[in-house]
Amino acid sequence: MKPIEPSQLSSSAKQAFRLIEFDKDEVLLCEVRKHWFGLFLVYAVGTFVSVVLIMVAVGSAFLGGEASADTIGLSFSAIQMPIILLCFVSALLAAVGTAVGAFLYKSNVVLVTSEKLVQLLNITLFNRKISQLSIGDVQDVTVQQDGIFPHLFKYGTIVIETAGEQQNYRFTYTPFPYETAKMIVSSHEENLKLHGN
């Protein structure tokens, strides 16, 4: 695989790159961003929830008719308005939540160099995790593709088993996972040739 320059990275990857130690003889091999299908799922769920809430609000506005709630002493519109308002506010919150979820999804990235793996994981807007793993500590790389969509759209989960007591690394929604796994293993083998065990 042809090395890439730091200037070719996405904005999220540049952010992660600035926070890691990068030696002058280290080579940046690739940037792994999440697959577009996961982003589609984020937008689809958010849009579905927003549309359902708006339909409930519109339905409650038009389906009330001339009925009244005499048993509790309120006119129908007094009961109707809080429901409509609650549905529209909930739809707005769902739309904002979808936008935040999409931003967080797109900002997660993995960098593979000749010396290390770096994962930038934005869990929330105010919770970021950057994990670094020496490429020499990689023990095994496993690709998981469960279901029809991962096979159809060519994405999967890469699980990297590490030496010692370090926790395993999981990269979900990885595009072309077999090629990425092969490149990580190849980088690991090159690193072993240079530095030994």
For 34-55, what is each residue's pLDDT tens digit?
Answer: 999 999 999 999 999 999 999 8
Position 73 scores a pLDDT of 43
Q: What is the mean predicted confidence (pLDDT) over 120-136?
A: 89
Give 7-72 as a DSSP string.
Answer: GGS-HHHHHHHHTS---TT--EEEEEE--HHHHHHHHHHHHHHHHHHHHHHHHHHHS-TT--BTTT
DSSP state, residue 74: B
Residue 3: closest CA among 193, 192, 195, 190: 190
Contact between 141 and 181 (Cβ < 8 Å): yes
Q: Give 32: exposed, middle or buried? Use CB within 10 Å, 0-12, 13-18, 19+.
A: buried
pTM of the model as a whole? 0.81
Question: What's the pLDDT at 191?
Answer: 85
Q: Residue 50: what pLDDT?
A: 93
Q: What is the mean pLDDT of residues 155-177?
A: 89
The whole-number pLDDT of residue 66 equals 46
| 133, pLDDT greater than 60 | yes
pLDDT, mean over the chain? 85
The phi and psi torsions of 126 (rounded to 5 degrees) equal: -120, 20
Q: CA 117, 167, 35 angle in degrees (round to 5)?
A: 50
Query: 2: Cβ–Cβ under 8 A, 6 or more apart, which residues?
Result: none
Q: What's the confidence (pLDDT) of residue 64?
A: 57
Report the greatest alpha carbon distance in the chain.
Answer: 84
Cα–Cα distance, 19 to 180 (Å, whole number):
23
> Which tens digits make up the pLDDT trace of 57-89?
888 777 654 444 444 444 446 677 788 889 899
Q: What pLDDT is stored for residue 19 in this prediction?
A: 80
